[in-house]
Amino acid sequence: MSEITSSIPLQINPDLQEERDKASFNVTELTHIIYGGIEKTKKRKRLEKLLFSDPFFQEYQNVRAFGSRSEYYAASVKKSTKIFKLRRQHKWTDEEYETVLDICHDDLALTLHHTMFIPALERLATEDQKSKWLTLAKQYKIIGTYAQTELGHGTYLQGLETTATYDPQTREFVMNTPTLSAMKWWPGSLGKSSNHALVLATLIISGKKYGMHPFLVQLRSMDDHKVLPGVRVGDIGAKMGGNSVDNGYLILDNVRIPRNNMLMKNAQVSPDGKFVTRGPSKANYATMMLIRVQICTMAYQVVSSGATIGIRYSAVRRQSKLDPQDREPKILEYQTQQYKIFPGLAMSYAFLFASRSLTRKYEEAFAEIQRGDFKSLPELHCLSSGLKSFCSEHSVRQVEIIRQSCGGHGYLNAAGLGMLVNAAAPMITVEGENTVMYLQLARYILKRFAGAMSGQQLDGSTSYLSMDPATYVCPVMSETDCRNLTALCDIYRYRSYMTVCRVARQVQHDMESDMPQHVAINKNLVDLVRAAKAHSYYIVVKDFVEGVDALVASAPVIKVLRTLCCFYAAHGIAEYSGDFLESEAVGLHQLKWIKNLQVSLLGEIRPDAVALVDAFDYHDITLSSALGCYDGNAYERLFKSTENDPMNKEEVHPSYYQYLKPFMEEMNKSKL
Ligand X SMILES: Cc1cc2nc3c(=O)[nH]c(=O)nc-3n(C[C@H](O)[C@H](O)[C@H](O)COP(=O)(O)OP(=O)(O)OC[C@H]3O[C@@H](n4cnc5c(N)ncnc54)[C@H](O)[C@@H]3O)c2cc1C
Ligand Y SMILES: CCCCCCCCC/C=C/C(=O)SCCNC(=O)CCNC(=O)[C@H](O)C(C)(C)COP(=O)(O)OP(=O)(O)OC[C@H]1O[C@@H](n2cnc3c(N)ncnc32)[C@H](O)[C@@H]1OP(=O)(O)O
Residue span 87-126 as binding mask against ligand Y, x where in contact by CB under 6 A, dash where not: ----------------------------------------
How many C-beta neighbours within 10 Å does residue 401 have?
A: 16
Answer yes or no whether residue 632 interacts with ligand X by CB under 6 A. no
Answer yes or no whether residue 270 interacts with ligand X by CB under 6 A. no
**Which option in ligand X, ligand Y, none does residue 598 bind, with CB closer than 5 to 8 A by kind?**
none
In this chain, which stretch among 57-65, 148-156, 349-357, 536-544 interacts with ligand Y, using CB under 6 A? 148-156
Q: Where are the beta strands (DSSP E) in 135-206?
A: 144-147, 163-167, 172-176, 184-185, 196-205
Phi, psi of 189 (to 5 degrees): 65, 10
Answer yes or no whether residue 147 interacts with ligand Y by CB under 6 A. no
Helix, strand, coil content of the chain in percent (nearest 5): 60, 10, 30
Q: Shortest distance, CB of residue 566 to ligand X, whole angstroms?
A: 34
Contacts to ligand Y from residues 155-184, by CB under 6 A: 155-158
Distance CA 448, CA 445 (A): 5
DSSP 248: E
Is 431 a residue of the active site? yes
Answer yes or no whether residue 433 interacts with ligand X by CB under 6 A. yes
Instruction: Indicate which single residue of 249, 285, 362, 580 sits in contact with ligand Y (rule: CB under 6 A).
Output: 285
Q: Shortest distance, CB of residue 102 to ligand Y, whole angstroms?
A: 11
Q: Shortest distance, CB of residue 662 to ligand Y, whole angstroms?
A: 46
In this chain, which stretch among 152-160, 189-197, 231-239, 329-337 interacts with ligand Y, using CB under 6 A? 152-160
CB 163 within 8 A of CB 175: yes
Q: Is 344 annotated as a binding residue?
A: no
**Which option in ligand X, ligand Y, none does residue 247 bind, with CB closer than 5 to 8 A by kind?**
ligand X
Give whole-number Cα distances, 252 to 218, 284, 615, in Å: 11, 22, 49
Answer yes or no whether residue 517 interacts with ligand X by CB under 6 A. no
* Distance of alpha carbon 665 from the chain centroid: 54
DSSP 199: E
Q: Is 149 annotated as a binding residue?
A: yes
Angle 556-558-562 (CA atoms, 0-180°, nearest 5)?
115
Find, among 268, 118, 93, the residue nearest to 196 by Cα: 118
Instruction: Indicate which single residue of 119, 144, 188, 344 sits in contact with ligand Y (rule: CB under 6 A).
Output: 188
Minimal CB distance to ligand Y: which residue? 285
DSSP 477: -
Contacts to ligand X from residues 146-205, by CB under 6 A: 146-149, 153-155, 186-188
**Which option in ligand Y, ligand X, none does residue 507 bind, with CB closer than 5 to 8 A by kind?**
none
Q: Shortest distance, CB of residue 427 to ligand X, whole angstroms?
A: 9
Q: Classify the phi-psi angles of 413: left when phi > 0, otherwise alpha if psi is within -120 to 50, otherwise beta.
A: alpha
Q: What angle separates helix 69-90 from helix 38-52, to the nearest 10 degrees?
A: 130
Q: How many residues bind ligand X (CB under 6 A)?
A: 22
For ligand X, give the closer residue by CB, 157 or 303. 157
**Which option in ligand Y, ligand X, none does residue 158 bind, with CB closer than 5 to 8 A by kind?**
ligand Y
Answer yes or no whether residue 381 interacts with ligand Y by CB under 6 A. yes
**Which option in ligand X, ligand Y, none does residue 289 bind, with CB closer than 5 to 8 A by kind?**
ligand Y
Amino acid at 544: F
* Distance of alpha carbon 374 from the chain centroid: 26
For ligand Y, give the closer residue by CB, 291 or 626. 291
- Which among 431, 479, 636, 650 is annotated as catalytic? 431
**Which option in ligand Y, ligand X, none does residue 435 bind, with CB closer than 5 to 8 A by kind?**
ligand X
Q: What Rg do the C-alpha atoms of the chain give, in angstroms? A: 27
In this chain, which stretch among 65-73, 145-153, 586-594, 595-603 interacts with ligand Y, using CB under 6 A? 145-153
**Which option in ligand X, ligand Y, none does residue 424 bind, with CB closer than 5 to 8 A by kind?**
ligand Y
For ligand X, give the closer residue by CB, 117 or 568. 117
CB 322 within 8 A of CB 333: yes
Q: Beta strand pairing status for 163-167 and 196-205?
A: parallel
CB-side exposure of 248: number of CA atoms within 13 Å? 28
Residue span 229-258 as binding mask against ligand X, x where in contact by CB under 6 A, dash where not: -------------x----x-----------
**Which option in ligand Y, ligand X, none does residue 75 bind, with CB closer than 5 to 8 A by kind?**
none
CB environment 647-662: b (16+ within 10 A), e (fewer):
eeeeeeeeeeeeeeee
For ligand Y, give the closer residue by CB, 302 or 465. 302
Residue span 85-114 as binding mask against ligand X, x where in contact by CB under 6 A, dash where not: ---------------------------x--
Q: Beta strand pairing status for 184-185 and 231-235?
A: unpaired
CB 278 within 8 A of CB 334: no
**Which option in ligand X, ligand Y, none does residue 109 bind, with CB closer than 5 to 8 A by kind?**
none
Distance CA 44, CA 40 (A): 6
Torsion (CA) 224, 230, 235, 236 in degrees, nearest 10:
180
Phi, psi of 441 (to 5 degrees): -65, -45
Q: Shortest distance, CB of residue 248 to ligand X, whole angstroms?
A: 9
Q: Shortest distance, CB of residue 187 to ligand X, whole angstroms?
A: 4
Give whole-number Cα distances, 265 to 4, 117, 276, 380, 647, in Å: 66, 15, 11, 20, 55
Distance CA 459, CA 489 (A): 18
Q: Shortest distance, CB of residue 625 to ligand X, whole angstroms?
A: 22
Q: Where are the beta strands (DSSP E) in 459-602?
A: none
Q: Shortest distance, CB of residue 153 to ligand Y, whole angstroms?
A: 9
Distance CA 128, CA 369 (A): 19
Answer yes or no whether residue 288 interacts with ligand Y by CB under 6 A. yes
Contacts to ligand Y from residues 419-478, by CB under 6 A: 423-424, 426-427, 430-432, 436, 440, 443
For ligand Y, give the closer residue by CB, 250 or 557. 250
> Which residues line the annotated binding site?
149, 188
Query: Using CB under 6 A as the criterion, which residues of the chain lie in contact with ligand X when the complex forms?
Result: 112, 146-149, 153-155, 186-188, 242, 247, 426, 429-433, 435-436, 439
Would you name the residues annotated as active-site residues? 431
Query: Using CB under 6 A as the criterion, which residues of the chain lie in contact with ligand Y when the complex forms?
Result: 146, 148-149, 154-158, 188, 282, 285, 288-289, 291, 298, 302, 377-378, 381, 423-424, 426-427, 430-432, 436, 440, 443
> Which residues line the annotated binding site for FAD?
149, 188
